[in-house]
Amino acid sequence: MPQIKIKGEIKIKGWEVYRRRTVAVAGDNGGVPNSIITITDPDDPRLADYRALTDVALRTAFEPPHGLFVAEGELVLRRALRAGYRPRSFLVDAKRVGQLPETDAPVYAADQAVLEAITGFHVHRGVLASFHRKEPVPAAELLETATRVAILEDVNNHTNLGAIFRGAAALGIDAVLLSPSCADPLYRRSVRVSMGEVFAIPYATLDPWPSALADVRKAGFTILAMTPAPEAVPLAQAAKGERTAILLGAEGPGLSRHAIEASDVPVKIPMRRNVDSLNVAAAAAVAFYELGRED
């Protein structure tokens, strides 16, 4: 894996060269699409954004500090553009260049063998894009206008996180607040599982955790903590205020004791056949539906 570690910071080989070149080639050209750049060398430094996409530890250490994320698939790519994310570049199967929207970002085209050598997997969707991240939004700003909020503690599985965002978009959640230990919503797998709906739901980190839950309550929210504990109230029977937050924990351990104590009401989904709990994404979908059932 071509990477360099300098004073504890992980960098991907070629990224600094790529950044300098991007400044020169990815500027405004009047909206005229760039000509396609054919790539035959997997080690081309301009492709540093796309290297080792299957290495979760490397990508999560590399992407946020460098202000980028990678989207996969034409549908997800178009939703990112629609949400106002600025593309840095595109990497596509040479057979699919016609699927791209017009852009002034560089477009790199290669055959599948080269794409696989760059990314570490078979790019069967044929389209990848690197985007600039937006500036983080403070949690307090989201709480000013939201009426239904999902709060996640330690949800560090990217598949679950993406599924929760998709459910939030479909079922009327206004914003998602994340404990600092949650996974990155813009990690490629999260984005893909959400079908790009992660771009439709504003989110923010709630920090410090869990004491910042008090700020949610001060903003007028009733916090319902999802837990299978016997003393929890069935969700359908719980008193819901005009502004409600659903608090969900990680797969397996669930919510921490401190998070439950910082909430208003522990709630549960009644189970049958001695099943003790649902996958967190499934539980979130049920809870989101219940919150919006009276609309």
Q: What is the CATH number of domain 139-292?
A: 3.40.1280.10
pLDDT, tens digit, 9 for 90 and up, residues 160-206: 999 999 999 999 999 999 999 999 999 999 999 999 999 999 999 99
Structure tokens at 51: 């290297």
Over the stretch 76-123, which tens digit does the pLDDT of each residue have? 999 999 999 999 999 999 988 888 888 889 999 999 999 999 999 988
Percentage of residues of the chain with pLDDT beyond 70: 88
Q: What is the pLDDT of residue 4?
A: 37
Of 210, 185, 216, residue with least CA distance to 261: 210
* One-letter identity of residue 140: A
Q: What is the pLDDT of residue 12?
A: 53
Reported for 7-11, long-range contacts at CB under 8 A and 24+ positions apart, including other chains, are 9/65, 10/58, 10/61, 10/62, 11/62
What is the crossing angle of helices 158-170 and 280-292, to 10°? 10
Contact 93, 222 (CB under 8 A): no
pLDDT > 90 fraction of the chain, expressed in percent and rounded:
75
pLDDT score recorded for residue 111? 95
Q: Which pTM does this prediction carry?
A: 0.86
pLDDT at 230 over 60: yes
- Greater confidence, 15 or 125? 125
User: Would the CATH topology of 3-132 be identical to that of 139-292?
Assistant: no
Q: What's the pLDDT at 255? A: 96
CATH of domain 3-132: 3.30.1330.30
β strands within the chain, DSSP E: 3-6, 9-12, 36-38, 68-72, 87-93, 107-110, 127-132, 148-152, 175-178, 203-205, 222-226, 233-234, 244-248, 265-268
For residue 165, give the H/E element and its range: helix 158-170
Domain ranges for the chain, please list them: 3-132, 139-292
pLDDT, tens only, 114-171: 999 999 998 877 899 999 999 999 999 999 999 999 999 999 999 999 999 999 999 9
Phi then psi dihedrals of residue 179, to 5 deg: -65, 155
